[in-house]
Every structure is written in structure tokens, then in C-alpha cells.
Amino acid sequence: MTLSNISLALLVLVPASGALDAHAEIKSASSDGFVIVHSRRVSAAPGKVYAALPAIDRWWSSDHTWSGSADNLSLKSEAGSCFCERWKDGEVEHGRVVMVLRDQLLRLQTALGPLQGRAVTGILDFQLKPDEGAGGTATLLTLTYTVNGAAGSALDKSATPVNGVLGEQFERLVRYIETGRAAAQ
């Protein structure tokens, strides 16, 4: 899926009034790195949004796991905690929590999926800001994924597919927060 298709898909979910501002883009992409940003106004207070982040087994797609089941994922919003996946025949550390600011920021060091075997460094931020105009009942949620590697890593070729996968997870997270169900209805 291309960036324009992802942006279009996100905009279709936004009411014509523009009440739910959505933004998705590959901010930069080169052979040695990329930066992806997804941002959206979520109809929930920052505390509720933050509480949903570690419930990753409830909103991450099983299609993007090694085991085939999001039920095998775990994440705690504590520095040093593992974003892990464990199943009968294996386990993987997808990332490690490196910073926690309750109701404001959850930061993981992670090389997601196939990037893990490519000796790159990735930082995945979930940043939350209260929507001042909503009286504390809405949050601007921004996911930023920054990946860096050696110049020969050809990361510019990975930016678009990674953006697509993260865009899907971001939308599932927003639906989970707002409706209690991650799957599209």
C-alpha cells in the first residue's frame, strides 16, 4: 500500500467536519534511515489512551506476529520491560521500554519484524497530548518510528511497507481505545 493510499484510507475514517484530525506520512527516508509519523485525535482522555498502550495483545494484528497470534504478545509500561512474544515453540523480544512518562509518552527501542535481523536501531514513540479544546475528553496521539542503520541498509526501500504495517496497527489501537474492539466493523 502506498503512502497516498494510507493517507486516503485514514482520511476516509475522518468525518467531513474534520473533528478527528488524522495525519500519516513518511517524514524522511534514505538508505540509512527513515522516520514515520501517524497522528490522530482520539476521543478519549490521555489516561485512557495511555492505559490501552500496554494492552498490545488486544489491539495488535495477529497477522503481524511471528506466532500468528496477538494473544502471545505482552508489554508493560515500565522502563526495562520487554515487548515480547512467547509461544510453545519460540519467543522473541520485539523491543524494550526505554522511557515512560505516564499519560504523556511511552518509548520503546525496537527493530520491528524483519528489521530485527538487519542490525538497525529503531525508536518507537507513542506521544499523548491532551486536546485543550475538548475539555480533557480527547487526546492527540502521535506514533513516531525512527529507524537508523548503516548506509548500505537500503532502509528507504523498507519505509513504505513499514509505514503500511504501522498505519494498520495505529488504526487498530485508535479503534480499541474508542470502541473496545480493534477490528474494523
pTM beyond 0.85, yes or no: yes
Q: Are strands 105-110 and 90-101 parallel, antiparallel or unpaired?
A: antiparallel
Residue 17 is predicted with a pLDDT of: 31
Distances (CA, A) of 13 to 20, 23, 65, 103, 178: 9, 11, 25, 25, 13
pLDDT at 94: 97
Q: Measured between alpha carbons, how far is 118 from 121 in angstroms, rounded to an integer?
A: 9
Q: Which residues contact 15 (CB under 8 A, 6 or more apart)?
A: none
**Per-residue pLDDT at 10:** 31
Task: Please tell me what DSSP assigns to residue 110.
Answer: E
The predicted pLDDT at position 56 comes to: 98
What are 103's three cell numbers?
499519560
User: pLDDT below 70 — which residues of the chain?
Assistant: 1-21, 134
Burial class (CB in 10 A: 0-12, 13-18, 19+), 127: middle
> What structural domains does the chain harbor?
3-14+23-179 (3.30.530.20)
Q: What is the per-residue pLDDT for 168?
A: 97
Cβ burial, residue 32 (10 Å; 0-12/13-18/19+): middle
Q: What is the pLDDT of residues 171-181, one digit of tens each?
A: 999 999 999 99
